[in-house]
Structures are given as C-alpha cells and as structure tokens.
Structure 1
Amino acid sequence: MRIAAAQILSTGDPEKNLVTVTEAVREAAAAGARVVVLPEASSQAFGTGRLDERAEELDGPFAEGVRAVAEETGTVVVVGMFRPADQAFRDGRTVNRVFNTALITGPGVDDHYDKIHTYDAFDYEESATVKPGERVVTFDVDGVRLGVAICFDLRFPELFRELACRGAHAVVVPTSWADGPGKLEQWLLVTRARAMDTGCYIVGADQALPEEETDGPTGVGHSVVVGPDAGIVEEAGDRPGIIYADIDTEAVAQQRRTLPVLPR
C-alpha cells in the first residue's frame, strides 16, 4: 500500500488551508497514494490566533471539505484540525479548550484521534487550552493496519507499543514540530526510536519550515517515513512537498520475528 506524507505550510485561515490540503491530496492520489497524511494544525497554524475561535466540529466546513476530496480521490486522509472540547478555569478566567484532532476519513473509514499527550513542557502548558484525548485509535486500509499519534506523542513510546500490540503495521503522525536548536535532530531521532520500539513503519508529516519567523511553533519540515528496521525510507526537505513510500506488511512481520521487542 502506497502512503504519502504531504508537507504543507498552513496559515490562520481554515478556508485557505482547505484549498492547500485539497491540492495536496489530489497530487498524492495522482501519484498512487491510498493514504495521505498531512500535518498537525493543518486547519489553523499555531500562533495565528485563538484556536477556540476557529475550531470546528467534525461535521464543520473544514472536515466536510476533506471528506469530499477523500471521496473524490478514493484515498484515506489523515489531517490535523482543532475542534471544540470544554471549558476550564485558568488564572482567574474561563478558557474554551479545544481538542487537537487528527481527522481520519475516506471510503470505508470515518474516525478521529485526539492527541493524548499535550505539550506541557519547557514552561509551556498546552493543556491549558487543549484538552487531552483518551482513546487509542487504529484503522485498516487494504489489509494494512495503521495507528495514529500526534507530534508530542512521539516522546511516549508506550503509546506506540500499544498501537503495535493492537496490530498496527505503521503509525501515522501528523506533526507541527517547532524549530530551534537541536530540534531537527530530535525529530529524526524520536521517529526512528519509535520504529525500533515497535517494528512499525513511522510516517511523520510535519509542517514545512516557514521562510520568515513566526509567533508560534510551525515546523522544521523533513517529513519522514521510517522503516520497521528504523532506517529512513524517505525524507523531505524543509519546504512544502510530498514524499511517498510503500508499506510492506511482510517487512514488519520479518522485523518482529528477527527482533521480538513486543510482548508475546
């Protein structure tokens, strides 16, 4: 099964971003992709205004537009968006929190995953505005089982091992991996480490590196497909573009026979 990681640079405008997502899905489908993975925050880039003001439900315009292009192209699309969650009382005020969601949609598939591990690190508290998810999610396409994680989840190997124990041959990871000293090296390290932990393919779709400095974490680019032996199969540069790889379930089985790191 051919999978694509579409590296885009989203903006603060969900309508404009839907056009970008639609064009990327059509391009990937024309190249033979059955699954197209796009970054975290594809509906609205971080640092472009309050997330709760543009968050949409799973039947909102952004999600419905993605469903339309998935149906049109016969692909399954995994794409990052934000949707309303709850209200929390923080620092003397009420905050409308959102879910950081990966929409999963296409012929025969309609599901979503809410990011479980919010980025509460380095004096930043993502959980103040983003409600953590609770549900581990897998889905099947053409006999291949795929698990879903989002960005900071990569720091938590137990989630990836759980997905592998549920039969995942690959884990797709929509991401908005902030730039900074050592961040690219960490990105490539953790994606390869999660492959080593599981014998899975890891498909990380990152936001492209902006040409100008921004107010929020966008991406470093370098979307990547890592093989079950932790070798890099494909890696993008830092600008928008699409990379492709074929998921070989027998390669996963062989890796797990050779190096049985999962519980029996």
Structure 2
Amino acid sequence: MAMCQIQVGDDPDENLRQVREALALAGDVDLAVFPEAVHLRFGNDLAKVAEPLDGAFVGELRRAAREHGTALVAGVFEPADGDRVYNTAVAIDAAGDLVASYRKMHLFDAFGDRESDRVAAGDWPVVVDLAGVRLGLITCYDVRFPELARALVERGADVLVVIAAWGQGVFKEEHWTTLVRARAIENTVWVVAVDKAPDRSRPLSGGPGGVGRSMLIDPMGTVLADLGPFPSVRVGEIDTRVTEHVRGILPALAHRRRDVL
C-alpha cells in the first residue's frame, strides 16, 4: 500500500501528472491512496470542472491504475444540483475498473467556511472490496464523526481510508492527528489517512488546504508512518492478522452495550 501525499493545484491535467508520478514512485504495490479533491484545488470554480464518473478525469485515473496495475482511491468532483458538486471518493481496481464511489456526507461548515454552499452532501456509507481488503471510505470532515467510522466497521471494513484536504489553522494539525488515531483505537482497525501536501502558494476560502501528516495507523493506534509536511510517497504494509491479535487482547467492540446504547 502507498500513501501518496501530493500537492494539488489549479490545473486538473497537472494534478493527473502528479498522480502518475506518484504511482511510478510507489512501484509494485496493490493499492495507492491519494488525497481528497485531487481533481482541483478548493478555491476554484468546482462546478466548472465537475464531471460524471464516466468522464475524462476519472477515465484518466482508471487508465493510470490499469497501466501501473495498482488499485487506487482518490477524490474527484461530480456535478450536483445547481452550481454545486458532489465531493466524491472513487475506488478503482488494478484493472482500471471503477468499483465504488462515495459522496462525502458531512460538509465543512465550520471555522468560517461553508462547504455546503458549493458541495451537496452524500447520504450513504460505502465499504468496498479493493486490493484484497475491505475499505471503508471517509472524506476529511467526516473523520470528526465517529458514528460513520463505526458504521463502516459494522459493515465489515478491515481498513478505514481517510482522504483529506485538511484546512490549515490554529490547532487544526493537532485535530487531524488526534482524530485519525482515535478512529483506529476505538474501532481496533487499520487507518490509512492521506492528506494533501500543505498548500502555501496562495490563501483560499477557509484557509490554505492541507497539513500533510498522512499516516498509517495500526489497530492498536500505533503510528507506523507519518509523512510530515512535504510532498511524499510512502509504502507501508497492512496486515489484517494484527487486527485479529489486537481484538483478542482488546475486545472493546464485543463489549458494546447494545442493550442500552
């Protein structure tokens, strides 16, 4: 598995070039995870570039996955009602087939931003079989809602994949690192959390996007990789036997009080 902490800019073609470069750097891996909104940086006219999932941008992601023989998860924009878009995570297998998509459910109307002005909310959790594991898909602000992560684990997710363009600001990096670890610990599950590399080129609505700090976290909450603040591609291993071991010594999921909660 590769975490691809790339920069995302104002040109979809340039963003695709960075996706291809990251896949080449990742080498022979089963799965590559990219940030939210790889399609186009927030602060642009998202509706102008949004495409159906059978459009050109996702088509190029599918081509890249097929050429490298690597499944991938990445964030794109689909048209929605009016001038809004769906903030969508796509899951593409190593043959280049689009096997699932997830529309972000929780919109970032916080810290002075209003994502709902330009983005329409999705309404259904998604778990997908990809690269030999079951992935539960989470996008950015979603990670603040533990009930979504728990619902994905209830649906059989072996790994929670969190893609983000996390807003910069006071204490925001602390929130990111704390929340992604918390989702691993409370669910005794693997978490692959991939944020975009920090954007320092110009201010955006709600603050510049990306804090970096993409992480691979095991079901005990151990941070096995932290990519820091710069563009990076890091390869790591997900071993679901660790999940079985941790749940054997920490059976918190089995201890839930379903009779009262």
TM over 0.5: same fold? yes
* Alignment match, 2:9: 11
Secondary structure at the aligned position of 1:149 is classed as strand
**Structure 1: distance between partners of 2:109 and 2:168:** 17
For 1:55, the equivalent position in structure 2 comes to: 50
SS of 2:198's partner is: coil
Question: Which digits, 9 at most, give the CA deviation of each residue in 1:226-249, with x for residues without a partner?
Answer: 111011010102111112221111
The residue that corresponds to 1:176 in the other structure is: 165
* Count of residue correspondences: 251
Kept in 2, the 8 Å contact 1:109–1:139? The answer is: no
Do the aligned partners of 2:90 and 2:98 also contact (CA within 8 Å) in 1?
Answer: no
Aligned letter for 1:19? Answer: R
Partner of 1:35: 31
Write the distance in 1 (CA, Å) between the matches of 2:239 and 2:34: 21
Q: Relative to structure 1, is the Cα distance of residues 78 and 142 closer, same or farther in structure 2, using a 3 angstrom cutoff?
A: closer
User: C-alpha separation between the residues in 2 aligned to 1:143 and 1:16?
Assistant: 30
Mapped to 2, the partners of 1:105 and 1:185 lie a distance apart of 31
The 8 Å contact of residues 99 and 128 in structure 2, kept in 1 or not, is answered as: no
Task: Report if aligned partners of 2:62, 2:98 keep a CA contact under 8 Å in 1.
Answer: no
2:4 maps to amino acid = A
In 2, the alpha carbon distance for the partners of 1:196 and 1:221 equals 21
How far apart are residue 143 of structure 1 and its match? 3.5
Residues in 2 aligned to 1:10 and 1:69: alpha-carbon distance in whole angstroms: 17
Note if 1:194 corresponds to 2:183: yes
Task: Report the CA distance between 1:125 and its aligned residue.
Answer: 2.1
Tell me the CA shift for residue 196 of structure 1. Answer: 1.0
Asked whether 1:232 is paired with 2:223, we answer yes
1:44 aligns with 2:34: no
Q: CA deviation at 1:109?
A: 5.2
Letter in 1 for 2:227: A
Deviation at residue 135 of structure 1 after TM alignment: 1.7
Offset of residue 39 of structure 1: 0.5
Task: In structure 2, give the amino acid aligned to 1:239.
Answer: F
Cα deviation 1:144-163 (Å, max 9, x = unaligned):
21111000011001111111
1:105 aligned to which of 83, 86, 92: 92
- Residue 179 of structure 1: CA displacement? 1.3
When the two structures are superposed, what TM-score results if normalisation uses the length of structure 1?
0.90
Q: What's the secondary structure of 1:246's corresponding residue?
A: coil
TM-score of the superposed pair, with normalisation by structure 2: 0.91
Give matches, 1:183-262, under 5 Å: 183-216=172-205, 217-262=208-253
1:83 aligns with 2:78: yes
In structure 2, stretches of 5+ residues that fail to align are 257-261
1:149-203 Cα offsets, whole Å, 9 max, x none, are 0000110011111111111111111100111111111111000000012111111
Q: Which amino acid aligns with 2:68?
A: T
Percent identity (aligned): 39
Calculate the aligned-residue CA RMSD, in Å.
1.5
Deviation at 1:142, TM superposition (A): 4.6
